Structure 1
Amino acid sequence: MMKGKAGLFLLMTAIIVASCGKTSYKKTPGGMPYKLYAGKDTQKVMAGNIIKLTVTQKLNDSVLFTTDNGLPVYLMVGQQEPQPYDVSELWTSLKLGDSLVATQMVDTFLKRAPDRLPPSFKKGDRIFTHLKVQGIFANDSLARLDEDKARKEFAANESKAIEKIIADKKISTVKTPSGAFMEILTPGTGPVADTGNFVTVNYTGSFLNGEKFDSNVDSTFGHPGAYSYNAGMGEMIKGFDEAVLMMQKGAKIRVYVPSSLGYGSSGKPPKIKPNEHLMFEIELVDIKDKMPQQPMNNMPQIQVQPKN
């Protein structure tokens, strides 16, 4: 759960500064340094509760994960044994409204399990976790009600943000089933792609300010040439994939993808930040029943991240 912006980080930093001298670092039984900033509520976290958290996790100064401008994290306490040198050691020490700042040295993880760390984690690096307990629920049903409400509000806010951009540009769009926005640039004349088809596409991915982050038609990104994948099978981010499944062969579109249909709270470092909306120009070149051959180095940046 701790996997899925700077605002929360700055807020927590302000808390630290304001509390300077009042709260010192302690250590968990597993040796992890942390600071606890007590809220005003008295409701305690207990084993079996589901807690609602806002979280920002950073590697040095780089954001790894954040719920800022995104969805909160919900997790069950006591479902797994607390791990040493981990925030899970502290769950039952927290109360509603409490904030926590934890520091972990990458060196410690390198000693314990060097093969399990991402290549970007280097000796001497630090992981900073800032979190706040926003809710405590006695059972899964109550937590799901709250989470469903949060998801609906989040989706509505994401749609509003993109709808404003579309309105400002005075363009006409259609929605994909999950809520990406498609602008038809050139209508196609061939068949419509279907789930399980192998589709071949040309694409350019950009941020909403127009800055490109990936393309297979721009050689500066290092993988020119049409790209093929199995449509509707989870190989690509959802907003991209849904748009392709609404295209006819030969069509060209521009699709505006809310972060929840892109890379969500984790982003795709170092290029795509957490909770960032994206835009793709896509041409559907071909549709086949079997996977066509393509160069091994022609791998895009828009594939979904591996599921853990």
Structure 2
Amino acid sequence: MTKRIIPIALLGAATLGITSCGGGKGDFKKVNGLEYKIVKDVEGKNAAIGDIIEFHLVAKVDTLTVADSYKQGQAQITKLDSARNIGDLVAIFPHMSAGDSAIVNISCDTILSKMPAEQIGRVPEWMKKGNTIKISVKLVSVKNEEEFQKEMQAKQAEQMKKMEEQKAAQMPLDDQKLQEYFTKNNLKPQKTASGVYYIVHKPGAGAQIAKGMTAKMKYTGKTLEGVAFDSNIDTAIGHHGTDLLTFQVGMGQMIPGFDEGVQQLKKGAKATLYLPSPLAYGPNSPSPLVAPNSILIFEVEVADASAASAPSPDMSAAAPGR
């Protein structure tokens, strides 16, 4: 959730906005150093301290738009608490219910009079004495904490379901491409239960790498088409330098296919991992060189693998999982 929207936004820390609500009948009322007028009044319970509110707004000084949430592409969400400063926009929300729209006028003089002297020199040019900030605000929704949490959990569950459906649809397509690639290049890889293919070129020694161990790797990543996009071996490709990739295995620090593929290896092993896109970056892209839903190939070498008594102190080179 966002924190304080106004006056922080008015100091240039946000780019919110809304289209004008128009005129409306009735006089402006005053509260907490600002003037407001409800121009659309929808029947319902007004927002209360502690509620989670969702709103759009547009703020202008003369013809200059200084904030626009519509252009930002999403409503603002915040937990409603008491106004902390004179001119704080949150003071109007206890006078509004979901669906209401209002016009708010805030004098720049009011904000500047309460601002620490060291901050005045950093305010935007339009924040000067005599100016008035005219805000059109629409309260989209009002929920208590329990309602908000239930809604967020439902959205997360729906998102997870959608991701699983996309994964289920993409996996057979990627597997077919991989089988064609293996046939064309006369390769005979092994396959994990989840669908990662791998070829061990040098077996290494000792126990197989297991969840919780700390692995240190050399790697080069490329697409199925042969485009290299990351490496800690070739400095012309990599963007993390030549430090070993250090991570705790099976703890979600790497993309799933890389994490699983490493667990098929031993210390000193050299191997090639073939990752279907749902076990790599899926529809996302870590680089302009990697298209959405790309199958990835990683040439890897396990430089070291050991039991981890504490989290690894240096995760900065964990490129395949970032």
TM-score (norm 2): 0.48
Structure number, greater radius of gyration: 2
TM-score (norm 1): 0.50
